[in-house]
Chain A
């Protein structure tokens, strides 16, 4: 029997589950191989350690329901995340719309909307305050004076 095969049967041997047909060869190999004997000691310690650690296992009857409530909590978190995102998007959209509206209003404050001809005259008066000489106007007084001369 090879060392690897002997090692693969160690747990069964220590648990008393090794088939009788393998037992003879197994023990013969152990009697001849120091390393496998040491390995068997290690496996014995390993099983002892495992038994010791596993003896701390507690049957928790609420384990399943605790996991379910965690799953539900995670789902609720995802739902509220979505709600928060939607509210955020809506707020940003509303702020942008409001910005555009206010911007429009502020932009229009300097300009006057012309609704009638009188409005147009008023605006024209505002912009044309300086009297300019009209080359086409005819000054009667001046022309009369020049005739007298």
Chain B
């Protein structure tokens, strides 16, 4: 297979894995190359979906968010200046989309809690929306612990939650987290310390 080297060659045959992010982005912007975009999606889909799962704790919601992330990415690629890594940029879009989704869901929950009472009067269940994936392969005690922990994570301030999820679910280094969040290394250290201490306080209280 011919290796893609010349960016000006239209619809060139290329070895996907050998193309850098920068080359893929140029292929998409200059030639609207769908094959290159699909390669970009395949390269980052796991990263985006699993980050979304960290915020939403639901695979299907995370996949929906991931679709929005890549559509947004496609539209905004011409604005990408290569000043930061593409992955950093994708992380930022994912975090914003996930937080917006949670805010929207919170609003819907408030509204549905009002209508839920009406439904209850009509004999309908109000627990039929936004089911959280139950952890698999776990006993009752662990599941209860996970549920409490998940609730505690959801109540953390946004900055602490973002740092915690990027660290735990994505295993990003403090430097990478600092780049995504556009804060200093010491700020990340402090955010994670406070996040863990807040979770500890909640979990100790529950025991």
User: Interface residues of B, CB < 8 Å — how many?
Assistant: 46
* Residues of chain A from 10 to 55 with CB closer than 8 A to chain B in the complex: 10-11, 35, 38-39, 41-43, 45-50, 52-55
Interface of A, secondary structure class, is: helix
Q: What's the interface size class on A, roughly? A: 35 or more
A35 contacts across to B, CB distance below 8 A: 197, 200
A38 contacts across to B, CB distance below 8 A: 200, 204
B63 contacts across to A, CB distance below 8 A: 60, 63
Asked if A130 is an interface residue, CB under 8 A from chain B, the answer is no
A55 contacts across to B, CB distance below 8 A: 136-137
Q: Complex: how many Å from CA A10 to CA B189?
A: 12
A3 contacts across to B, CB distance below 8 A: 193
Asked if B57 is an interface residue, CB under 8 A from chain A, the answer is yes
Q: Complex: how many Å from CA A30 to CA B123?
A: 54
A39 contacts across to B, CB distance below 8 A: 196-197, 200
Asked if A8 is an interface residue, CB under 8 A from chain B, the answer is yes
B67–A70 contact, CB under 8 A? yes
Asked if B167 is an interface residue, CB under 8 A from chain A, the answer is yes
B138–A57 contact, CB under 8 A? no
B135 contacts across to A, CB distance below 8 A: 49, 52-53
Asked if B174 is an interface residue, CB under 8 A from chain A, the answer is yes
Binding site for A on B (CB under 8 A): 34, 37-39, 41-42, 45-46, 49-50, 53-54, 57, 59, 63, 66-67, 70-71, 74, 133, 135-138, 142, 145-146, 149-150, 164, 167-169, 171, 174, 189-190, 192-193, 196-197, 199-200, 203-204
Given contacts A50-B54, A68-B37, A71-B71, 18 further A-B contacts (CB under 8 A): A3-B193, A7-B193, A11-B167, A46-B149, A49-B135, A49-B149, A52-B135, A52-B136, A54-B50, A55-B137, A56-B59, A57-B46, A57-B59, A60-B63, A63-B63, A66-B67, A68-B34, A68-B38
